[in-house]
Amino acid sequence: MKFLLPLLFLLALIQVKAQNRTFTIDYDNDTFLKDGKPFRYISGSVHYFRIPRDLWHDRLQKIRAAGFNSIQFVVQWNLHEPQPGQYNFEGRFDVEAFIRMAGDLGLYVILRPGPYICAERNGGGLPFWLYKLHPDIKLRSSDPNFLNYVDKWWDVLMVKMKPLLYKNGGPIIMSQLENEYGSYGLQTGYCDVEYLAHLRDKSWEHFGTDTLLYTTDGDSIDYVRCGRVQGAYATVDFGMGRNVTDSFHVQRLFEPQGPLVNSEYYPGWLDYWNQPHQMADFNMSVKSFEDILETGANVNVYMAHGGTSFAFENGANNPPFQVEPTSYDYDALISEPGDLTDKYFAFKSVIAKYLPIPSIEVNETTPKANYGRVPLNYVTSIFQGPMKFAQNNTNPMTFEDLNQEAGYVFYETAITEMFTDPAELQVNDLHDRANIYVNQEFVGILSRGEDCLTFPISVRKGDRLQLLVENQGRIGYGAYAKDFKGITSNVTLAGHALQDWSMFTMPLDDGPTLDNQLKRLQALQKTDPKFAQDTLTSFKEAVNNGQGGFWRGTFKIPCSETIANETFLNLPGWSKGVAFLNGFNLGRYWPIVGPQITLYVPSVLLKPACQENSLVIFEQQKPGCDTQNGCWVELVDTPNINGPTPLKPQETITYEKYSRSYNEL
């Protein structure tokens, strides 16, 4: 009993202390109040899902070491609920563990739970199954079909977030409603105040009315007017080169008193395939950051560390349809492999004028290694690969019809009559890219992004027409968020609609199983002469005619390395595809258009000290093979995300905020 009383007293003291934790706004003095005292945050954006879990601590610690006292991040709905009612909070999706780690390192957390997040992510974070279940659904609106699933999702997420609120002893000080809704409202022509009010009320239901909510919109009067809602503090976002006074004047029109806040200050910018890598003007980036802090404002730097859009997690924008690459380096303060940049130290010097810099030692660079060439063996073509028969149908079926989120779908039909030679193949509603085959022979490519939707082909009655269709990433910004994938309307040949299609799915969503399947096929090549001969014939077709297929190789890290180093996958001569390391999807590669040439290979994914590592390449087009050296890729110690591109800087396609090039600022 004598031990129980002090314990009960201690628990009561902790509870009282937690109850006294508050985060509010002092409107009279234009500041936030933390526990009743003026507080200013200087925050850096970082995304847990873009970093292997074992590297979270390194990245968060480096953000704290720069003087940031907070982080801001989004929660991506479609990663956590890939199918209705099926939830995933494991590994790099364990958002609770990420928040607790940030708090342990002395970082406060600004939560952005969506439901829409943008963030150059697949579908802006919205699950594809929303419009699979309800094709006419109105996303990001008060449509009951949408709100019903938002409520179910938040009933799961917010329960996990509530104990982590600042008032409950955790690090979360604020929570955002939606994301830049004003842009979407103006793009669609309808500002749905009922929708925003519903999100506000749902947040209060879980968090209580004493939890500070806020909205974020671009520094335009129309954007903020459309995106704000009573009960949530309105903030703005803007990048370098803007007139800071004018931008904050927009916020002041809607929040005459209270703290100034730039919720997204851009020190860098996003990339697109085919377009030059974006590099912000260094001096302007630093100066604009300091100009913001000189006003006394709070600021979040988007991004402090960008990371990587692994697997098929990249998004796209439209119109025009532009696809984001695997790297999300963003020209941020901390590079994709975790190196501290000159911009990092410049921002740290600026922060030091306004906040104390903690004494934390961090490595300025991460150890990197050149592990050399990895020989690859051809295993199988796309026609004998991991495709699964899905369904026959009169007309082509979409990914949604087939309940497939990402990856590829293979479409096949028979030519049942005679056509002119050549005949024009047309797929007007292709989403997004298709390799064309006749009797399994590669003949051409159709592409939504390049607006190439017709192609002349030569066919005879009885031939088989095949289309391998790639989902390049669901639209994450703009009015066209409902982005059905695959072939979404009729396919015509010389104006005649082709019918009676067979669909085969190839989601490539299970890397370990894929690796094992290919390993077994490799073993079969050694024991079955006929299979080996068929594979050789298929290999020649893949190399000579660009048919596409699967390659697999193994390699070992030197026995002296008990801990592997960071490295980068370089694919000289390879065209376009996906790479898997030890069953983990590293992401898409497309070096023939740039700007990203190499793929980041985190050290924590490698097996060190003489253990066997497996590398699988799915090449959609022509592989990097030659007669002397065979097929190979290499692991190098230097990244290259700034390679040559078809478009030059002055030709960069632009529209609104998310395609603006820094060359234009």
> For residue range 496-522, what is the model confidence (pLDDT) as tens digits?
999 999 999 999 999 999 999 999 999
Check residue 250 and report its DSSP letter. H
**pLDDT over 90 at 110, yes or no:** yes
Q: Are 458 and 422 in contact (CB under 8 A)?
A: yes
Q: 633 falls in which pLDDT band (50, 70, 90)?
A: very high
pLDDT tens by residue, 556-586: 999 999 999 999 999 999 999 999 999 999 9
Mean pLDDT of 260-278: 97
Q: Higher model confidence: residue 650 or residue 438?
A: 438
Looking at residue 626, its pLDDT comes to: 82
Report percent pLDDT > 70 for the chain.
95
Looking at residue 653, its pLDDT comes to: 38
Looking at residue 18, its pLDDT comes to: 54
Among 252, 207, 215, residue whose Cα is nearest residue 231: 215
Q: Are 128 and 83 in contact (CB under 8 A)?
A: no
Looking at residue 544, its pLDDT comes to: 84
pLDDT tens by residue, 192-207: 999 999 999 999 999 9
CA distance 338 to 366: 6
What are the structural domains, with CATH classification, of the chain? 4-351 (3.20.20.80), 372-380+510-636 (2.60.120), 387-506 (2.60.120.260)
Q: Determine which of 376-385, 553-562, 625-634 has the lowest per-residue pLDDT on average.
A: 625-634
**pLDDT over 70 at 44, yes or no:** yes
Active-site annotation holder among 264, 405, 470, 619: 264
- What does pTM read for this prediction? 0.94
Neighbours of 502 (CB within 10 A): 18
What 3-state DSSP class applies to 623? Answer: coil
Instruction: Return mean pLDDT, the chain.
Output: 94
Show the beta-strand stretches assigned E in 507-636. 549-556, 567-570, 577-581, 584-589, 598-601, 612-619, 625-626, 630-636
Largest CA distance in the chain: 96
Looking at residue 385, its pLDDT comes to: 82
Handedness of CA 110, 112, 118, 124 (dihedral sign): positive
Q: Are 381 and 548 in contact (CB under 8 A)?
A: yes
**pLDDT over 90 at 297, yes or no:** yes
**pLDDT over 60 at 12, yes or no:** no
Active-site annotation holder among 81, 120, 178, 180: 180
**pLDDT over 80 at 178, yes or no:** yes
Q: Are 458 and 299 in contact (CB under 8 A)?
A: no
Mean pLDDT of 114-129: 98
CA distance 341 to 320: 33
What's at 156, amino acid-wise?
V
Q: 273 falls in which pLDDT band (50, 70, 90)?
A: very high
pLDDT tens by residue, 522-565: 999 999 999 999 898 889 888 888 888 999 999 999 999 999 99
Q: 41 falls in which pLDDT band (50, 70, 90)?
A: very high
CA distance 416 to 70: 64
Q: 3 falls in which pLDDT band (50, 70, 90)?
A: very low
CA distance 69 to 46: 13
- Partners of 215 in beta bridges: 234
Looking at residue 2, its pLDDT comes to: 52
Looking at residue 660, its pLDDT comes to: 40
Contacts of 102 (CB under 8 A, 6+ apart): 60, 71, 108, 109, 171
- Exposed, middle or buried: residue 298 (CB in 10 Å: 0-12, 13-18, 19+)? buried
Task: Examine the residue annotation and report whether 264 is marked as an active-site residue of this protein.
Answer: yes
Among 413, 371, 323, residue whose Cα is nearest residue 121: 323
Looking at residue 509, its pLDDT comes to: 96
Q: Higher model confidence: residue 386 or residue 448?
A: 448
Check residue 121 and report its DSSP letter. B
Looking at residue 472, its pLDDT comes to: 98
Looking at residue 652, its pLDDT comes to: 44
Q: 357 falls in which pLDDT band (50, 70, 90)?
A: very high
**pLDDT over 80 at 309, yes or no:** yes
- Exposed, middle or buried: residue 14 (CB in 10 Å: 0-12, 13-18, 19+)? exposed
- Exposed, middle or buried: residue 491 (CB in 10 Å: 0-12, 13-18, 19+)? buried
